[in-house]
Amino acid sequence: MTGTPGSEPAQRRLMAVHAHPDDESSKGAATMARYVREGVDVLVVTCTGGERGSVLNPAMDRPEVLADLPAIRAAEMEAAREILGVRQAWLGFVDSGLPEGEPLPPLPEGCFALQPLEVIAAPLVRLIRDFRPHVVTTYDERGGYPHPDHIRTHEVSVEAFEAAGDPDRYPGTGDPWQPLKLYYHMTFTKPRLVAMHDAMLARKLDSPYTDWLGSWDDSKDISHRVTTRVPCADYFELRDRALIAHATQVDPSGRWFALPLDVQRDTWPTEDYELVRSLVEPLEPGTIEDDLFTGVAAKVEA
């Protein structure tokens, strides 16, 4: 793991499991930055090195970048980690790439998405048993979007969450540790995009969401699943700095940065999640919590 752990004797711990370097900065980054500043020990787990990712920033689309993309993406991850203040660990698997075409081509042999579940879960179980998180965050069953590595990240996160506390499963990967809560990111919901879109139009600004909302499929909206909204607007600037640090993946003039920070802070000052597994006091029906550690404090151990 890279980064320095905190020193509190009974410190809360959060593990965020992501597919590629840059995912941690586009999903839940402001939440993590807030918790780090509040003394929480935060570990980002990156399942793959992003080796098969494309260069998405035209300014970085150069032969020397393409020739050394894995090393460059690792350096970008380190820069983003420092900005957010988190620790980070690589799970060590190879990016599957995003298949395109009709019909879709087969995934590359040996890639993350094709590895047996028990093979990819073992190192994550080891990390959970070593780091001992109280809370784990990851993607929903659709991966947030249908990249094969995102879907596999969901599957391995659920498997490891359930297995890490069982002494009979994954022997040789450390002493059992059971995380208390598992959350899915609920980043791209229609109400959030509509609110941002309307806020831009109200300020007589061009909205980057016009076309996106025009083709939105309401049957795929997940907003009804949100259980948790974490206030973190004060950390949106850090989030953006971390995302920009992934220079091969992010165009600073692109859609991600078209909304002024003051519009975002005023319109939607939270990052949103679905609580899907909890071993603490359950939420009252209809309750929206504002803290991933709700109900955890009494069970935090050194």
State pLDDT tens for residues 80-94: 999 999 999 999 999
What gap in Å lies between CA 48 and CA 225, rounded to an integer?
Answer: 28
Does 102 map to a domain? Answer: yes
Long-range contacts at 198-201 (CB < 8 A, ≥ 24 apart):
199/263, 199/266, 199/267, 200/259, 200/263
- pLDDT for residue 286: 85
* Beta strand ranges found along 108-254 (DSSP E): 135-138, 181-185, 228-231
Domain encompassing residue 106: 13-187+270-275
Here the CATH number for the domain that contains residue 22 is 3.40.50.10320
Does 67 map to a domain? Answer: yes
Nearest to 13 by CA among 33, 31, 39: 39
Percent of residues, the chain, with pLDDT higher than 70: 97
Is the predicted pLDDT of residue 27 greater than 60, yes or no?
A: yes
What gap in Å lies between CA 299 and CA 287, rounded to an integer?
Answer: 21
Which range of 17-21, 187-191, 295-299 scores highest in mean pLDDT? It is 17-21
Nearest to 129 by CA among 176, 93, 83: 176
What gap in Å lies between CA 226 and CA 140, rounded to an integer?
Answer: 12
Phi-psi region of 120 (alpha: psi -120 to 50; beta: other; left: phi over 0): alpha
What gap in Å lies between CA 2 and CA 7, rounded to an integer?
Answer: 16
Q: What letter represents residue 221's amino acid? A: D
The band of 302, judged by pLDDT with boundaries at 50, 70 and 90, is very low
Does 209 map to a domain? Answer: no
The band of 34, judged by pLDDT with boundaries at 50, 70 and 90, is very high
Q: What is the pLDDT of residues 95-152, one digit of tens each?
A: 999 988 888 899 999 999 999 999 999 999 999 999 999 999 999 999 988 899 999 9
Count of CB atoms situated within 10 Å of the CB of 98:
16
**Do residues 208 and 240 lie in contact, with contact meaning Cβ atoms separated by under 8 Å?**
no
Percent of residues, the chain, with pLDDT higher than 90: 81
Q: What is the pLDDT of residues 200-257, one digit of tens each?
A: 999 999 999 999 999 999 988 899 999 999 999 999 999 999 999 999 999 998 887 8
**Do residues 69 and 59 lie in contact, with contact meaning Cβ atoms separated by under 8 Å?**
no
Does 212 map to a domain? Answer: no
- pLDDT for residue 4: 62
The band of 7, judged by pLDDT with boundaries at 50, 70 and 90, is very low
Does 43 map to a domain? Answer: yes
Residue showing tokens 């042999």: 109
SS (H, E, C) 181-208: EEEEECCCCHHHHHHHHHHHHHCCCCCC
Q: What is the mean pLDDT of the chain?
A: 93
Tell me how many domains the chain contains: 1
Find how far residue 83's CA is from the centre of its chain. Answer: 16
- pLDDT for residue 13: 98
DSSP conformational letter for 290: S
Does 238 map to a domain? Answer: no
DSSP conformational letter for 289: B
Return the structure tokens found at 122: 């073992």
Sign of the C-alpha dihedral computed for residues 44, 48, 50 and 51 taken in this order: positive
Strand partners, 270: 231
Does 227 map to a domain? Answer: no
Nearest to 94 by CA among 48, 53, 147: 48
Does 45 map to a domain? Answer: yes
